């Protein structure tokens, strides 16, 4: 049986033939040693190489770190979600003074009880009183935009509309990021929050977003030379060749030309990093026309899948 000395007063339990250590008893003395903890998943978030889960028992909480290789080995992986009860064995580490447990095998993560089923909620019934509540909503994506740390969608189910915020790590963990765009039908599970007076649902990982129907869009095609300031705020589709790329602090200004003229396509960093283009590429783009006195006309691109390289 695996185990090691506990602090005075600790009340270890036994599960899966391993000593279960109360989470609050895990101090820096455990660093580099193996321990077993048991508790409920109180949160999850994706990172570049895997997932982090907050596991909480009656005494405290610890971060479960699962890299992609181990994550794929977890039995009942689909049940490893917020609200599930888990038993975890792994090496103890600390990051910013917070305890982490890092299994060396995915099979060292056992889902004892799956998360309770979350019933769908009508968007129109969600209010500020639901802040921090875990909900499931579904509907059509009517708008998409980006911000410095990710992407925002507007989801409408006929009873109301709510924002869905996808931070970069969540967006990158989506099963099919290109299918998450205007016109898609989505089911989203996440926590309710409020930002600048607007309610939003924030999924903690890509698994919280399910695409039930891919995007269907009809966007008017424009010749580049035909776009003027009168088209401000119009969503347009353009096609042409990348003639020049100008980098600025928050993204790229990409000059696109066709046989009628040229326009600047603006790719903010969160888009540019996921939709790489280079001079000479032939591209087809959907974007929103922005007309401003200080910088003229630009075509702002909301989502990476709005940029398609048709010929390199």
Q: Tell me the C-alpha distance between 155 and 151, whole Å.
A: 13
Q: How, if at all, do strands 261-268 and 296-300 pair?
A: parallel
Identify the pLDDT of residue 207: 85
β-bridge mates for residue 221, sequence order: 237
Q: Which CATH superfamily is domain 224-311 in?
A: Nucleic acid-binding proteins (2.40.50.140)
Phi, psi dihedrals of residue 153, rounded to the nearest 5°:
-120, 155
Per the structure block, which two tokens stand in for 52?
A: 């982090």
Q: Where in the chain is the domain with CATH 2.40.50.140?
A: 13-113, 123-213, 224-311
Q: Tell me the C-alpha distance between 89 and 101, whole Å.
A: 8
CB 82 within 8 A of CB 44: yes
pTM of the model: 0.80
Closest CA to 224 of 238, 236, 234: 238
CB 79 within 8 A of CB 98: no
Q: Tell me the C-alpha distance between 184 and 35, whole Å.
A: 44
Identify the pLDDT of residue 293: 83
Identify the pLDDT of residue 63: 97
Identify the segments of the chain with pLDDT beneath 70: 1-17, 312
Per the structure block, which two tokens stand in for 110?
A: 């056992």
Mention the CATH class of domain 123-213: mainly beta
CATH assignment of 13-113? Answer: 2.40.50.140
Identify the pLDDT of residue 117: 85
Identify the pLDDT of residue 17: 53
């Amino acid at each position: 049986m695996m185990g090691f000395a506990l602090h005075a007063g600790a009340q270890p339990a036994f599960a899966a033939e391993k000593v279960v250590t109360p989470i609050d008893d895990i101090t820096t003395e455990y660093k580099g040693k193996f321990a077993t903890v048991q508790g409920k998943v109180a949160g999850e978030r994706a990172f570049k190489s895997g997932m982090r889960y907050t596991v909480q028992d009656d005494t405290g909480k610890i971060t479960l770190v699962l890299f992609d290789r181990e994550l794929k080995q977890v039995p009942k992986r689909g049940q490893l979600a917020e609200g599930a009860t888990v038993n975890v064995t792994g090496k103890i580490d600390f990051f910013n003074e917070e305890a982490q447990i890092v299994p060396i095998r995915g099979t060292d993560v056992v889902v004892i009880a799956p998360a309770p089923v979350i019933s769908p909620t009508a968007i129109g019934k969600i209010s500020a009183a639901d802040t921090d509540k875990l909900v499931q909503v579904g509907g059509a994506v009517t708008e998409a935009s980006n911000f410095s740390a990710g992407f925002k969608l507007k989801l409408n189910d006929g009873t109301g509309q709510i924002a869905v915020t996808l931070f970069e790590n969540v967006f990158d963990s989506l099963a099919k990021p290109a299918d998450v765009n205007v016109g898609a039908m989505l089911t989203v599970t996440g926590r309710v929050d409020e930002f600048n007076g607007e309610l939003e649902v924030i999924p903690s990982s890509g698994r919280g977003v399910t695409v039930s129907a891919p995007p269907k869009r009809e966007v008017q095609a424009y010749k580049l030379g035909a776009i003027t300031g009168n088209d401000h705020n119009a969503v347009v589709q353009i096609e042409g060749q990348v003639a020049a790329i100008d980098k600025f602090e928050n993204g790229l200004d990409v000059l696109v030309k066709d046989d009628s003229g040229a326009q600047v396509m603006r790719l903010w960093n969160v888009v540019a990093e996921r939709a790489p283009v280079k001079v000479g590429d032939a591209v087809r783009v959907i974007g929103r026309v922005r007309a401003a006195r200080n910088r003229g006309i630009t075509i702002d691109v909301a989502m990476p899948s709005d940029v398609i390289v048709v010929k390199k």
